[in-house]
Chain A
Amino acid sequence: MAHAQRIEFSKDLESLRSFLPSLLGVMGRSPDWYPSIWFERKLRRAFSASLKNTDVTHSRTAGLVLRIYDGRTLHEFATESLEPGFLIESARRFSDRILNARGTAVGPIRTYMAPSWTERLRGISEREILEQIPSSPGADTPVHFGIKYQKDPRKLADSDVIGQLKETLGRMRRTAQRAGLAESELNYAAARAGLALEESMFIDREVNLSQSLFRVSVTAVAMSGSNRTVHQEGGLGGLEAIEIPDQPIQDMMSDLHALKAAARIRPGRYRVLCSPDISGVLAHEAFGHAQEGDTCARGRSKAWELHQAGTRVGNEHATILNNPALFENAGKPWAAWGSYFFDEEGWISNSQMLLDRGLLRAPMTNLTSAIRLGVPRTANGKRESWANGVYTRQTNTYFSAGDKTFQDLLQQLGDGFVATQSAGGMEDPKGMGIQVGIAWLKEVRNGEYTGRVFRGPAGGDINLTGFVPDVLNAIEAKSKIEWDTEEPDSARHPWNDTGGCGKYHKEFVHAGCGGPWMLLNGVSLG
Chain B
Amino acid sequence: MRLWNLQELKNILNAAPVIKGWVITQESLNRRERYFLMDSGRLAIDQDREARDFSIRLRVFVRLGAQQDRQGESSIKLHGDQPLEPQLKALLEAASLADQAIWELAPSPVAALAPVQGHDPAIAEDIHAAMERLTTRLAGAIAVVQGAQFNSAELFVGLHEREQHFSNGLTHRSLQTRIYSEAAFSATGSGISDEYLETRWSSLEKDLPIEELVRESAERARHMIQVAPAVAGTFPVMVDSEVLLALFNGHLAQLSGANHYHELPCLKIGDPLIPSARGDLITLHLDPALEGGADTVAVSGDGTPQMRRTLVRNNRVEALVMDQQHGQYLGLPVGVSRGSVVIDPGTRSKQELIESRPRVLEILQLSGLFTDENSGTFGSEIRLARLHERESGRITYIKGGSISGSIQENFADLGLSRETIRRCHFENGVPSGSGYSGPAWVLLSDVSISG
Contacts and interface: CB of A to CB of B under 8 A. Distances in A.
Interface residues of B, number: 89
A209 B261 CA distance: 49
B404 A456 contact: yes
Contacts of B1: 83
A343 interface: no
A144 B79 CA distance: 26
Contact of A389 (B29, B35, B378, B410): B35
A525 interface: yes
A130 interface: no
Given A300-B184, A426-B381, 19 more contacts: A52-B101, A73-B46, A74-B46, A74-B47, A75-B49, A77-B51, A107-B42, A188-B262, A267-B449, A267-B451, A299-B149, A387-B53, A390-B47, A430-B194, A433-B381, A433-B399, A460-B379, A461-B377, A504-B182
Given A55-B74, A80-B55, A465-B401, A456 B379 contact: yes
Interface of A: 45, 50-63, 72-83, 105-108, 158-159, 162, 187-188, 223, 225-228, 267-268, 294, 297-300, 302, 305, 368, 372, 384-390, 423-426, 428, 430-431, 433-435, 437, 456-463, 465-467, 504-508, 524-526
A421 to B, nearest CB: 13
B184 A463 contact: no
Contact of B95 (A56, A294, A430): A56
Interface in B423-451: 427-429, 447-451
Given A83-B1, A108-B40, A426-B367, A526 B33 contact: no
A77 B375 CA distance: 43
A140 B153 CA distance: 39
A465 B402 contact: yes
14 contacts: A52-B261, A56-B98, A57-B74, A58-B74, A228-B374, A267-B402, A299-B38, A386-B51, A430-B186, A431-B195, A460-B379, A460-B405, A505-B368, A524-B451
A458 B193 CA distance: 33
Given A459-B377, A526-B402, A76 B151 contact: no
Contacts of A267: 232, 402, 404, 448-451
Contact of A460 (B100, B378, B450): B378
B50 A526 contact: no
Contacts of B389: none
Contacts of B44: 72-73, 105-107
B396 interface: no
Nearest to A54: B99
Given A52-B100, A106-B42, A433 B400 contact: yes
B152 interface: yes
What 10 A-B pairs come out closest when comparing CB atoms? A526-B450, A460-B377, A426-B368, A267-B450, A457-B448, A298-B152, A435-B381, A107-B39, A76-B49, A226-B375
Interface in B72-100: 73-77, 79, 81, 90-91, 93-95, 97-100
A57 B184 CA distance: 40
A56 B39 CA distance: 49
Contact of A430 (B76, B193, B381): B193
B38 to A, nearest CB: 7
Given A55-B73, A158-B94, A463 B450 contact: yes
Nearest to B376: A226
Contacts of A54: 97-100
B449 A526 contact: yes
B121 interface: no
Contact of A431 (B74, B368, B383): B383
A223 B374 contact: yes
B197 interface: yes
Contacts of B55: 80
A467 B400 contact: yes
Nearest to A295: B152
B368 A73 contact: no
B37 A298 contact: yes
Given A79-B52, A385-B429, A58 B377 contact: no
B283 interface: no
B406 interface: yes
A426 B368 CA distance: 6
Contacts of A462: 379, 404
A80 B450 contact: no
A82 B81 contact: yes
A194 to B, nearest CB: 14
A426 B73 CA distance: 37
Contacts of B52: 78-81
Contacts of A459: 375, 377, 406
B43 interface: yes
Contacts of B93: 158
Nearest to B39: A107
A463 B372 contact: no
Contacts of A526: 232, 401-402, 404, 448-451
B302 interface: no
Nearest to A161: B97
B375 A460 contact: yes
Given A425-B368, A435-B381, A437-B370, A57 B76 contact: yes
A508 B427 CA distance: 9
B224 interface: yes
A113 B139 CA distance: 30
Given A78-B50, A298-B184, A458 B368 contact: no
Contact of B367 (A53, A82, A105, A433): A433
Given A83-B1, A107-B40, A460-B372, A504 B197 contact: yes
B428 A506 contact: yes
B361 to A, nearest CB: 14
Contacts of A428: 367, 381, 383
A78 B51 contact: yes
Contacts of A56: 74, 94-95, 97-98
Given A60-B79, A73-B47, A299-B38, A431 B232 contact: no
Contacts of A384: 428-429
Contacts of A76: 47-51
Nearest to A429: B195
A524 B406 CA distance: 20
Interface string B224-259: 100000001000000000000000000000000000
A294 B37 CA distance: 10
B12 interface: no
A430 B195 contact: yes
A463 B194 contact: no
A309 to B, nearest CB: 12
B264 A223 contact: yes
Interface in B109-153: 149, 151-152
Contacts of A465: 381, 400-402, 450
A299 B194 CA distance: 10
Contacts of B171: none
B413 to A, nearest CB: 15
A363 to B, nearest CB: 15
A428 B94 CA distance: 44
B54 interface: yes
A167 to B, nearest CB: 15
B416 to A, nearest CB: 21
B35 A188 contact: no
A112 to B, nearest CB: 13
Contact of A525 (B50, B51, B186, B450): B450
Nearest to A63: B53
